[in-house]
């Protein structure tokens, strides 16, 4: 028996045989060729096939893991269309007279290294994405180079040097018991996807990964970060009991449907769900969320080749509002830019896109785009309990400008005889240090705050959570981040408005008591986390 320690990435316990995925480096051979043109045509055909496959994966991911987690595949499609990358592949084929597979892998290593060494944090995060799209190309060139994870023949614990997002999202949950990786962090794309899909996972085994054996009986404890190879009888029995207890716990959570998240001392917390597509409403209702605390509207722009019309947006918002049957739905206006790009926006390349032309900055700069969305939202308010939320706010002036536009939209619709709810709420995301510091003034302008802890943590600590060199410094529990949240909560209470949390740490049960204590009124999480969080609140004294 051998016990290994990694990073706990996704809760749950799995017991089964290990499927060890061979590194591509060991499978790609360098072969001489004579027909350069034919080999280049193979690459071009593979590119078309890979692009079509990524589009299918993206649409499937929207339904399975939501809009935010599926955005990575839109980035991959754009990277796949990069001329420099394909010029490097063609040059390698022409200059060295080698096979397409070898040329793709060489270009992948070259570009991945180049991205990894860049100063800009966003660009460094693209290093793993280059490897992912290259794997996709290779599987199109030669099916034998496919990871095979989407067509496992029997249940297994999957072990790989690293799992790319496209590999993770395509996993057959009925076959994949768990996964372990040599690389990765708790905040990597694959780890986040594993949690969304409820697959136990341990990542970042590092040197201990070499101890794994294909076909070996293995235990994975995704809650503790433990991987046990060839367990003895006593250990096996112990973990079988733990697994059964975990599964029973999941069943017990179902009994909480229809109840409220109220502490033993009578403090009630609203538990809502984050979604990114109208199709996610089914999951929200299935998990008995109190409402939708964050509906990301970007999917309308990411799924289209051009700006979505007012009517297209109206129908999407109306569908969700009607589907929630009177429960509140908070819709965030478009938050494009940074890592969510659409070609037709024509956003110039930026040195630091995370702090650049994005979100409300685009909306207020391109008012015709913003007004179209506001008209669709206000019209939809007649079909349910709507609240509108604005992202990336850094000043009171921005909020006043938004309200002026919103009032003009209401006046125009009234003049046109279009029905809408007169009293829907408006709020802002607290996700920048500026919005926290100004929260006493901002609270006078809106009906609610919603703290986006992902960006607030990133901006407060100056840490890119996708940068593996410093990802350990990305800490939503950092005292500075918690003080920021507390300051916003105090100012919200003074102004008589409510405040919620919609970032990933809303589901961190280690922080639930803190949120209750400082007066947070609402937590919005992935649909699958709603019942666990409700249970946590109910158990608080």
For the ranges 162-171, 230-239, 249-258, the lowest mean pLDDT is seen at: 162-171
Q: Tally Cβ neighbours within 10 Å of residue 347.
A: 17
For the ranges 110-119, 443-452, 473-482, the lowest mean pLDDT is seen at: 110-119
Question: Same domain for 159 and 224?
Answer: yes
Q: Check if 206 is active-site.
A: no
Question: Same domain for 103 and 152?
Answer: no
Q: Tally Cβ neighbours within 10 Å of residue 52.
A: 12
Model pTM?
0.69
Handedness of CA 235, 241, 244, 249 (dihedral sign): negative
Task: State the average pLDDT for the chain.
Answer: 86
Question: Same domain for 32 and 50?
Answer: yes
Question: Same domain for 395 and 474?
Answer: yes
Distance from chain centroid for Cα 113: 25
Q: Is residue 267 part of a domain?
A: yes
Q: Using CA atoms, how far apart are residues 50 and 104, in angstroms rounded to an integer?
A: 13
Question: Same domain for 333 and 482?
Answer: yes
Question: Same domain for 155 and 139?
Answer: no
Q: Please give the residue range of the domain that contains residue 275.
A: 256-538
Which of 92, 189, 206, 478 is flagged as catalytic?
189
42 or 306: whose pLDDT is higher?
42
Coil vs helix vs strand at 301: helix
DSSP string, 338-398: TTB--GGG-PPP-S-GGGSS-THHHHHHSHHHHHHHHHHHHHHGGGSEEEEEE-S---HHH
Q: Is residue 371 part of a domain?
A: yes
pLDDT above 70 covers what percent of the chain? 85
Question: Same domain for 211 and 125?
Answer: no
Question: Same domain for 45 and 17?
Answer: no
Q: Check if 478 is active-site.
A: no
The domain that contains 64 carries what CATH number?
1.10.274.10
Cβ(276)–Cβ(66) below 8 Å: yes
The domain that contains 14 carries what CATH number?
3.50.30.10
Question: Same domain for 453 and 529?
Answer: yes
Residue 356 scores a pLDDT above 60: yes
The domain that contains 471 carries what CATH number?
3.20.20.60
Q: Is residue 400 part of a domain?
A: yes
Question: Same domain for 273 and 328?
Answer: yes
Question: Same domain for 303 and 364?
Answer: yes
Q: Total domain count for the chain? A: 3
Question: Same domain for 126 and 214?
Answer: no
Q: Is residue 250 part of a domain?
A: no
pLDDT above 90 covers what percent of the chain? 49
Last residue of a domain, one of 145, 163, 191: 145
pLDDT at 401: 97
Last residue of a domain, one of 91, 126, 145: 145
| Beta bridge mates, 203 | 7
Q: Is residue 349 part of a domain?
A: yes
Q: Is residue 369 part of a domain?
A: yes
């Amino acid at each position: 028996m051998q016990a290994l320690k990694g990073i706990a990435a996704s809760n749950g316990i799995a017991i089964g045989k290990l499927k060890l995925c061979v590194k591509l480096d060991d499978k790609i051979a360098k072969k001489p060729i004579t027909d350069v043109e034919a080999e280049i045509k193979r690459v071009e055909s593979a590119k078309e096939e890979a692009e079509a496959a990524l589009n299918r994966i993206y649409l499937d991911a929207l339904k399975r893991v939501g809009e935010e987690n599926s955005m990575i595949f839109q980035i991959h499609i754009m990277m796949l269309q990069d001329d420099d990358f394909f010029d490097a592949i063609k040059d390698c084929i022409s200059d060295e007279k080698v096979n397409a597979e070898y040329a793709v892998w060489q270009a992948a290593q070259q570009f991945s290294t180049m991205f990894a060494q860049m100063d800009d944090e966003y660009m460094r995060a693209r290093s793993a994405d280059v490897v992912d799209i290259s794997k996709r190309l290779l599987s199109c060139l030669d099916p034998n180079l496919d990871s095979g994870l989407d067509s496992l023949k029997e249940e297994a614990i999957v072990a790989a040097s690293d799992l790319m997002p496209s590999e993770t999202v395509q996993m057959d949950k009925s076959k994949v018991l768990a996964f372990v990786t040599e690389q990765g962090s708790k905040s990597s794309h694959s780890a986040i996807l594993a949690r969304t899909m409820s697959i136990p996972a341990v990542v970042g085994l590092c040197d201990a990964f070499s101890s794994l054996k294909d076909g070996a009986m293995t235990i994975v404890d995704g809650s503790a970060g433990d991987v046990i190879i060839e367990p003895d009888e006593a250990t096996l029995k112990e973990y079988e009991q733990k697994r059964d207890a975990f599964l029973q716990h999941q069943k017990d959570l179902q009994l909480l449907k229809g109840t409220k998240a109220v502490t033993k001392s009578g403090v009630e917390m609203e538990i809502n769900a984050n979604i990114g597509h109208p199709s996610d409403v089914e999951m929200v209702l299935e998990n008995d969320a109190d409402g939708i605390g964050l509906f990301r509207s970007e999917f309308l722009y990411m799924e289209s080749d051009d700006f979505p019309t007012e009517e297209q947006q109206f129908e999407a918002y109306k569908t969700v509002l009607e589907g929630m049957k009177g429960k509140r739905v908070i819709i965030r206006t478009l938050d494009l830019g940074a890592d969510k790009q659409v070609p037709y926006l024509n956003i110039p390349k930026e040195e630091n896109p995370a702090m650049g032309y994005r979100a409300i900055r685009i909306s207020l700069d391109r008012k015709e785009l913003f007004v179209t969305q506001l008209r669709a939202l206000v019209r939809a308010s007649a079909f349910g309990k709507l609240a509108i939320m604005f992202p990336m706010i850094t000043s009171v002036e921005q909020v006043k400008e938004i309200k002026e536009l919103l009032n003009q939209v209401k006046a125009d619709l009234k003049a046109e005889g279009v029905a809408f709810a007169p009293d829907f709420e408006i709020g802002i995301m607290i996700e920048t240090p500026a919005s926290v510091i100004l929260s006493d003034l901002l609270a006078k302008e809106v009906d609610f705050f919603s703290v986006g802890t992902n960006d607030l943590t990133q901006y407060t600590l100056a840490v890119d959570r996708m940068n593996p060199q410093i990802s350990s410094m990305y800490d939503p529990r950092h005292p500075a981040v918690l003080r920021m949240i507390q300051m916003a909560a105090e100012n919200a209470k003074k102004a008589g408005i409510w405040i919620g949390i919609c970032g990933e740490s809303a589901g961190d049960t280690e922080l639930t008591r803190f949120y209750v204590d400082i007066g947070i009124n609402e937590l919005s999480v992935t649909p699958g986390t709603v019942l666990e969080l409700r249970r946590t609140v109910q158990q608080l004294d």
